[in-house]
Structure 1
Amino acid sequence: MTTTAPPKNLRDFYENPAVPVASGTPRSLRQARMLAAALGTADRATILDIGCGDGTAAAVAAPLLKGHRIIGVDWSQDALRRARTRLACQPVRGELTDGGLPFRSESVDAVLFSEVIEHLVDPDAALDEIRRVLRPGGHLMLSTPNLAAWYNRALLLAGVQPVFSEVSLRAIHGRPGTEVVGHLRLYTARALREFVAASGFEVVRVAGAPFHGVPRPLRPLDRLACSRPPLASILLVHALKTPAPKT
């Protein structure tokens, strides 16, 4: 069991420099390749990396998205301070509430939303706000840990708390791992697809990505599981903003 200083609230937790604000490179590369293919030969696109953390993921994606503008967005001042050293464009502070992103409606071509939704109290409001800033037909590239990853299925059968799931912000209880990262929600591939579609998006593709925290001897199996997204460690979703329903 590992412990961190007890947070006073969720915001206090994410402002703690000891809390990880970056995820693995393999996921970032796969997601960037998916977005690059989706944008195709489009002119200079405005891409928001919402929940950019320390800017690592955007920095990894940048070489694959040359000619486009990537803007990091986060609510944590500590994360933004670190991101400024990695991003070409100045990162900005924003929140996933109604009007909480400092961008005009329908002004953004694509959103990278990587390893964020599992941390949110209100994911419905978050997708509503993302939908607000995306232009019609704009791209949402969302990634999140898979509750039904191949090893989580085995752990549950053994009565062990699944990887990625957390019962406390102060310590790890009953699951493998060494870091408390603040996960509040977890999704299966089916649940994520249904949730994104219900939020006003057309799901184009669900893919899988490996998890950097898998023990080295098991990494070949983890990479193999990516060919079956419902079993993969990380779920990658590409979705398009659909027109608002007529009233």
Structure 2
Amino acid sequence: MTTGVTGGRGGLRHFYEDPHVPVSSGSDRAHRQLRMLKAVLAEADGQQVIVDVGCGDGAATGMVRRLGHTVVGVDWSMMALRHARRHDLLLIRGGVDAPGLPLGDGTVDLVILSEVIEHLVDTDSAIDELHRVLRPGGRLLVSTPNLAAWYNRGLLALGIQPIFSEVSLRGVYGRPGSQVAGHLHMFTKRALTEFLTARGFVCERVDGAPYQDVPGVLRPLDRLLCRWPSAASILLVQARRA
């Protein structure tokens, strides 16, 4: 789970400052984030300005920083930012809600939104703000849990709350697991791509990724279904600002 921005509501900010809420990106998330970054950077010319919104501990973007790019990490959580400092990132405490990012229009080459969009209160304003700071042709990399993951389809058929979804910030109800994730919005592949398109982006690529907490006996199936992003555990979207 990411330590993401949340739209500025006091209760949500307190949730992300709770010491029991993880600030670590986790190795699986960090590595898939890094793979997405490297694929885009391989096509780029020169030093890039990269903004990691909801950077958490900055594990993946810290690796990119060492390649010589300018990397800005953004997070509401002071705990997360303290961890991210060791990666020599430029850090901003805040989010994409009002008053927005302290960055000029069209000044950013690449924005990372890795498992953050599901934590946002106002997704429309947030994506509009990212569209503003990106240069024309700049890339937005989004990853988020898939509401229509293969196991969620089965759980819903049995009347069980889907994995990743939340009804409370104080406890887990009606679904497997014990960790409160703080997810406020959930997306299918179709919903996410239509939403980004409506906000002025062109979705260039959609991939699937596995989920690290799938039981071992089911992991081969989880990896296999990454070939069908609509049913994969995690959605990975590469979009370009039109």
Query: Shared topology, TM-score over 0.5?
Result: yes
**Greater mean deviation of Cα atoms: 227-236 or 210-219:** 210-219
Amino acid of the residue matched to residue 135 of structure 2?
R
Q: 1:45 to 1:162 in 2, by over 3 A?
A: same
Q: What are the superposed Cα offsets for residues 184-210 of structure 1, whole Å, 9 maximum, x if unpaired?
A: 110000000000110110100111111
Which of residues 24, 29, 33 is equivalent to 1:31?
A: 33
Which of residues 45, 58, 78 is equivalent to 2:61?
A: 58
Amino acid of the residue matched to residue 119 of structure 1?
H
What corresponds to 2:6 in structure 1?
none
Counterpart contact for 2:147–2:162, Cα < 8 Å = yes
What corresponds to 1:3 in structure 2?
none
Q: 1:99 to 1:135 in 2, by over 3 A?
A: farther
What corresponds to 1:119 in structure 2?
119
Counterpart contact for 2:141–2:236, Cα < 8 Å = yes
Counterpart contact for 2:208–2:236, Cα < 8 Å = yes
Q: 2:230 and 2:26 mapped to 1: Cα distance?
A: 19
Q: 1:187 to 1:54 in 2, by over 3 A?
A: same
Q: 2:83 and 2:99 mapped to 1: Cα distance?
A: 25
**Greater mean deviation of Cα atoms: 217-226 or 50-59:** 50-59
Shift of 1:165: 0.4
Amino acid of the residue matched to residue 164 of structure 2?
F
DSSP-derived class of the 1:144 partner: strand
DSSP-derived class of the 1:9 partner: helix
What corresponds to 2:158 in structure 1?
158
Counterpart contact for 2:110–2:134, Cα < 8 Å = yes
Q: How many residues end up aligned between the 2 structures?
A: 233
Counterpart contact for 1:24–1:211, Cα < 8 Å = no
What corresponds to 1:48 in structure 2?
51
What corresponds to 1:9 in structure 2?
11
Pick 1 or 2: higher relative contact order, CA cutoff 8 A, min separation 6. Answer: 1
Counterpart contact for 1:27–1:211, Cα < 8 Å = no
DSSP-derived class of the 1:172 partner: coil
**Greater mean deviation of Cα atoms: 190-199 or 205-214:** 205-214
Determine if the alignment matches structure 1 residue 91 to structure 2 residue 94: no
Q: CA RMSD in A?
A: 1.9
After the TM superposition, which segments of 4 or more aligned residues of structure 1 sit over 4 Å from their partners? none
What corresponds to 1:101 in structure 2?
101
DSSP-derived class of the 1:239 partner: strand
Which of residues 2, 20, 23 is equivalent to 2:22?
A: 20
Q: 2:44 and 2:144 mapped to 1: Cα distance?
A: 28
Q: 1:202 and 1:99 mapped to 2: Cα distance?
A: 26
Q: What are the superposed Cα offsets for residues 108-137 of structure 1, whole Å, 9 maximum, x if unpaired?
A: 100110011101110001101111111110
**Greater mean deviation of Cα atoms: 20-29 or 187-196:** 20-29
Determine if the alignment matches structure 1 residue 79 to structure 2 residue 56: no
TM-score (norm: length of structure 2): 0.90
Shift of 1:66: 2.2
Q: What are the superposed Cα offsets for residues 155-195 of structure 1, whole Å, 9 maximum, x if unpaired?
A: 11111110000111001111011200200110000000000
Counterpart contact for 1:49–1:73, Cα < 8 Å = yes
Identity of aligned residues (%): 56
Shift of 1:22: 3.4
Q: 2:119 and 2:190 mapped to 1: Cα distance?
A: 19
Q: 1:110 to 1:8 in 2, by over 3 A?
A: closer
